[in-house]
Copies of this chain bind each other. A is one copy, B any other.
Amino acid sequence: VAAEICSIRSARVKAARQLNRRAERQQARQFLAEGPQSVAEALRLPGAVTELFVTGPAAARHAGLLQLAVAGGVDVREVSDAVMAELAQTVTPQGLLAVCKFVDVPLAELAAAAPALVAVLANVRDPGNAGTVLRTADAAGAGGVVFAGTSVDPYNSKCVRSAAGSLFHLPVVTGVSALAAAAALRAAGMVLLAADIGGTRLDELESAGQLAGPTAWIFGNEAWGLPAELTALADEAVAVPIYGQAESLNLAAAAAVCLYASARAQRAAGK
């Protein structure tokens, strides 16, 4: 580990700090992952981390992670608390921040892998929701997540944080339209299910055995739902049943119920 950087005017710190802006991230094809959980998951993916900033106390707390970084050829830089506060987007930074290479893959690569379960985010704007769906898709054993249309940038710091490391676990696609994603996944043999409050009830579909095959779930915007042309393209519009008085479910909660219904049905069918 090199000498501690105490100046926020250091060229390295300035370059990393710029990655808090989407345009700068896209130009550098790099982003920031904050906190021990995200950093640990990033370090487990060979070549993903190029640089690691750490405060003195965090270096002592996470000695194992630092060893892993050094062993992996990562450039580790000790920084003061003030520098970390400049770099981090959280109110109480946890003292570890990694500069990572973009991990997204082309849509064609995801489709070619013929995954059994995919989540497509169509114009999902809230980074917390999008990151939570990514984490849930990972937990449910999905083979990929597509950030389509005007969805939030998967490398947005709040999205990375909500994903809790899952960005480094499964293929993520970004920069494509939802229609292109739907077409490619259908061509790869997947059934397209559009989450829609007016659709067929999820439990009816499950009972009818219609969740057992390879499935791409399409989730729409928090406020406006899915564009009509996307719902029309889907094999089925599907609703999580509402048994109480709530008008709807939060997007990430609905996605959890849908993705786990597919995971369960696919495993019950032995796929």
Contact = CB atoms under 8 A, between A and B. Distances in A.
Given A139-B244, A165-B247, 14 more contacts: A37-B247, A135-B249, A136-B246, A136-B249, A139-B242, A140-B243, A141-B244, A165-B246, A166-B244, A169-B245, A169-B246, A170-B245, A240-B260, A257-B257
22 contacts: A135-B250, A135-B253, A136-B246, A136-B253, A139-B240, A139-B244, A139-B249, A140-B243, A140-B244, A141-B244, A142-B244, A164-B247, A164-B248, A166-B246, A169-B246, A203-B264, A241-B263, A243-B267, A250-B252, A253-B256, A254-B256, A256-B256
Interface in A166-212: 166, 169-170, 203
Copies in the complex: 2
A165 B241 CA distance: 18
Contacts of A257: 256-257, 260
Contact of A169 (B139, B244, B256, B260): B244
| Among A166, A169, A243, residue most surrounded by chain B Cβ atoms (within 10 Å) | A243
A141 B264 CA distance: 22
A254 B242 CA distance: 18
